[in-house]
């Protein structure tokens, strides 16, 4: 039942985004987000250092009734060889020198020697707050929750925080 609700939400979200989208082309076409932080910091037995990257192609962004939406693709690996690769969407809310960026991305998780999240398909919900130090460089902090929406036999989830370096080119 939960999988049906999540699937319906994703279909409605993408349909609404496509219906109310206006294409916008930017001069800095790509953004790379390099990040490092603490995976599953709320679980003392399973927390681990993580490093990762994320790519955003701003040629594909759209102004919608939800705000400026763009696709993202990325991944991270932990010190315990757990890995997560994902693709999804993010919203960029411009607040002057600060940018608030919530995102949602389904992806594939490999536990390695790290935490068993209960399923290979996991969903990442994230919020990020970044400061634009120049037109092409930003620094930020982010928090995410990775969960399988009860698709597996168990759904412990993982909460992580990261420090971000974002570069447009």
* Burial class for 140, CB neighbours closer than 10 Å (0-12, 13-18, 19+): buried
Q: Which of 70-79, 88-97, 99-108, 116-125 has the lowest mean pLDDT?
A: 88-97
**Angle at the Cα of 165 (from 107 to 38), degrees rounded to 5?**
55
At 146, which helix (H) or strand (E)?
strand 137-147
CATH class for domain 2-168?
mainly beta
User: pLDDT category, 157, cuts 50, 70, 90?
Assistant: very high
Q: Which of 52, 120, 61, 110 is nearest to 89 (CA)?
A: 61
Check whether 116 has a pLDDT greater than 90: yes
Read off the pTM.
Answer: 0.81
* CA dihedral (10, 13, 16, 20) positive or negative: negative
Average pLDDT score, the chain: 87
Q: Tell me the β-bridge partners of 85.
A: 75, 108
Q: Residue 79 — very low, low, confident or very high, per pLDDT cuts 50/70/90?
A: very high
What integer is the mean pLDDT of 161-165? 98
* Domain ranges (residues) in the chain: 2-168
Could you tell me if 87 and 70 are in contact, meaning their C-beta atoms sit under 8 angstroms apart?
A: no
**pLDDT greater than 70 at residue 99:** yes
β-bridge mates for residue 142, sequence order: 128, 162
What is the CB neighbour count within 10 angstroms for residue 110? 13
Share of the chain above pLDDT 90, in %: 66
Q: Give residue 26's pLDDT.
A: 47
Query: pLDDT tens digit string along 4-32?
Result: 665 665 555 555 555 455 444 445 679 99
């Amino acid at each position: 039942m939960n999988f049906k609700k999540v699937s319906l939400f994703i279909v409605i979200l993408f349909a609404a985004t496509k219906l109310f989208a206006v294409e916008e082309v930017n001069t800095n076409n790509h953004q790379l987000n390099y990040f490092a932080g603490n995976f599953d910091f709320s679980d003392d037995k399973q927390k681990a250092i993580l490093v990762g990257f994320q790519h955003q192609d701003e040629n594909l962004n759209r102004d919608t009734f939800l705000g400026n939406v763009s696709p993202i693709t990325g991944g991270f690996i932990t010190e315990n060889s757990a890995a997560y690769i994902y693709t999804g969407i993010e919203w960029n809310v411009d607040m002057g020198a600060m940018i608030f960026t919530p995102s949602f991305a389904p992806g594939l998780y490999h536990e390695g020697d790290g935490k068993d999240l209960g399923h290979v398909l996991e969903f990442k919900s994230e919020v990020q707050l970044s400061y634009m130090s120049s037109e092409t460089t930003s620094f930020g902090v982010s928090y995410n929750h990775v969960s399988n929406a009860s698709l597996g036999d168990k759904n412990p989830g993982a909460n992580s925080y990261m420090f971000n370096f974002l570069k447009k080119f």
